[in-house]
Amino acid sequence: MAEETSGVAKLIHEREEESQAQEYLWNCIFGFTETAVVKCAVELGISDYLETHKQQPVSLNQLSTAFGCCASSLYRILRFLTNRGIFKEVSSVGDGGDVLGYVQTPISRLLRRDGENSMAHLLLLQNSPFMLAPWHYLTARLLDKENTSPFNAVHGKDAWEYAKNNSEHNKLINDGMACHARMTTRVIIDNYAEIFKGIESLVDVGGGNGTTLGMLVKAFPWIKGINFDLPHVVSVAPHYDGVVHVEGDMFDSVPNAHAAFFMAVLHDWGDEECIRILKNCIKAISKDTGKVIIVETVLEEKIGNDKSLKDVGFMMDMVMMSHTSNGKERSAKEWAHILSEAGFSRHSIVNIPAIECIILAYP
């Protein structure tokens, strides 16, 4: 009898496991629909529109009129998004009785295109045709003796060369990265101001359109900011008080400054390339009191801390495999290797409430 019960329990357990496995794979198979539909909501500007109505529910008719789109298709898009908790459907009392309308949620607020903490442009970057096409060549990269990056396989050049000759892609990258820069820089300013005490001038190497340095200099006005990036990036960068834009190539040299800053740059490159860039940095910064501040993923640091942040690090590592030739996310051991090879005498890692850590390296 006991044996029979344990056999049934085993069978039930196996069925539960199989149904969980199926659920996981259904999500893998159709997971792209969520990204595609969220992208559609961003392109229409649904969050931006709802925001202008504060928490007043907005009806389907109002939305379809505002966007000039087919009400029945928009209804299906909104049904999908409310089902996943991205927007919320509420009823309110109107002239003719109860009316249904849509309001924002904490997720949809992050999808406003101009919000301070918006993630919309990062979503548009990753899901642009330029960035999606290379994923079809991931297996080809593994089988290719030359290890050609999927981005190169599709576009015939690396992402930075491609952006140089394609203003649409250049804007997508700069806006997407600025979106990420705003989120992480806010965390750094609010929690780690002591890192910037005593820094007279700071060069942001691969600083993109200067969003990060603009925020840092505003928060810590004693710093003179030098935003350093490729010519096609700085030539379209907006003005920020206290920041000068300098064009150049970090593989040749880095402008002199008291300290240097890197965010989401070194992960685009292999170890030898990072060592070369970092050696240029050591030459550029103050020998006695200078330091290099690196904001990047340290893979295992988030374990046991926040699983979702750790998962983003592993996903970013796949983005690097698809979009760069030698780039990768690194473990603490891998960071220690490139920093010591570049000539830094010591470094420390600060775990922060973001997907990255702050790595402080001293000459």
Ligand X SMILES: O=c1cc(-c2ccc(O)cc2)oc2c(O)c(O)ccc12
Candidates 90-98, 253-261, 319-327, 329-337: pick the segment binding ligand X (CB under 6 A): 319-327
β-strand pairing of 243-247 with 97-103: unpaired
If 0-12 CB within 10 Å is exposed, 13-18 middle and 19+ buried, where does residue 195 land?
middle
Phi-psi region of 147 (alpha: psi -120 to 50; beta: other; left: phi over 0): left
Window 144-173: contact mask with ligand SAM (x via CB under 6 A): ----------------x-------------
Beta carbon nearer to ligand SAM, 45 or 214: 214
Q: Is 45 in the site for ligand X (CB under 6 A)?
A: no
Least distance from C-beta 254 to ligand SAM, angstroms? 9
Residue of closest CB approach to ligand SAM:
206
- The CA angle 144-149-151, to the nearest 5 degrees, is 135
Least distance from C-beta 29 to ligand SAM, angstroms? 30
Q: Is 180 in the site for ligand X (CB under 6 A)?
A: yes
- CB-CB neighbours of 293 under 10 Å: 22
Residue in the structure block whose two tokens are 């007279």: 200
Beta carbon nearer to ligand SAM, 41 or 265: 265
Candidates 34-42, 94-102, 122-130, 271-279: pick the segment binding ligand X (CB under 6 A): 122-130
Q: Is 268 in the site for ligand X (CB under 6 A)?
A: yes
Candidates 61-69, 133-141, 195-203, 225-233: pick the segment binding ligand SAM (CB under 6 A): 225-233
Binder to ligand X among 205, 217, 282, 355 (CB under 6 A)?
355
Residue 207 interaction partner, one of ligand X, ligand SAM, none, beta carbon < 5-8 Å per kind: ligand SAM
Tokens standing for residue 154:
């599709």
Binder to ligand X among 74, 103, 124, 264 (CB under 6 A)?
264
Binder to ligand SAM among 233, 266, 281, 293 (CB under 6 A)?
233
Which residues are 361's β-sheet partners?
292, 347
Buried b or exposed e, range 9-46, using 16+ CB within 10 angstroms: eeeeeeeeeeeeeeeeeeeeeeeeeeeebbbebbebbb
Q: Is 116 helix (H, G, I), strand (E, B) or coil?
A: coil
Q: Is 169 in the site for ligand X (CB under 6 A)?
A: no
Least distance from C-beta 225 to ligand SAM, angstroms? 13
Site for ligand SAM in 52-71 (CB under 6 A): none
Binder to ligand SAM among 50, 215, 250, 259 (CB under 6 A)?
250
Contacts of 67 (CB under 8 A, 6+ apart): 44, 45, 46, 49, 74
- Of 323, 273, 301, whose CA–CA distance to 150 is shortest? 323
Helices (H), the chain: 2-44, 46-52, 60-67, 71-83, 106-109, 120-126, 129-132, 138-143, 150-155, 159-164, 167-191, 211-219, 231-234, 271-284, 307-323, 332-342
Out of 180, 245, 258, 267, the active site residue is 267
CA distance 126 to 117: 17
Which residues are 97's β-sheet partners?
94
Beta carbon nearer to ligand SAM, 45 or 207: 207
Site for ligand SAM in 194-223 (CB under 6 A): 206-208, 212
CA distance 288 to 197: 15
Q: Is 125 in the site for ligand X (CB under 6 A)?
A: yes
- Examine the residue annotation and report whether 258 is marked as an active-site residue of this protein: no
Task: Provide the binding-site residues for ligand X, judged by CB under 6 A.
Answer: 122, 125-126, 159, 176, 180, 184, 264, 267-268, 319, 323-324, 355-356
Task: Provide the binding-site residues for ligand SAM, judged by CB under 6 A.
Answer: 160, 177-178, 180-181, 206-208, 212, 229-230, 233, 249-251, 263-265, 268
Task: Report, as residue numbers or ranges, the catalytic residues.
Answer: 267
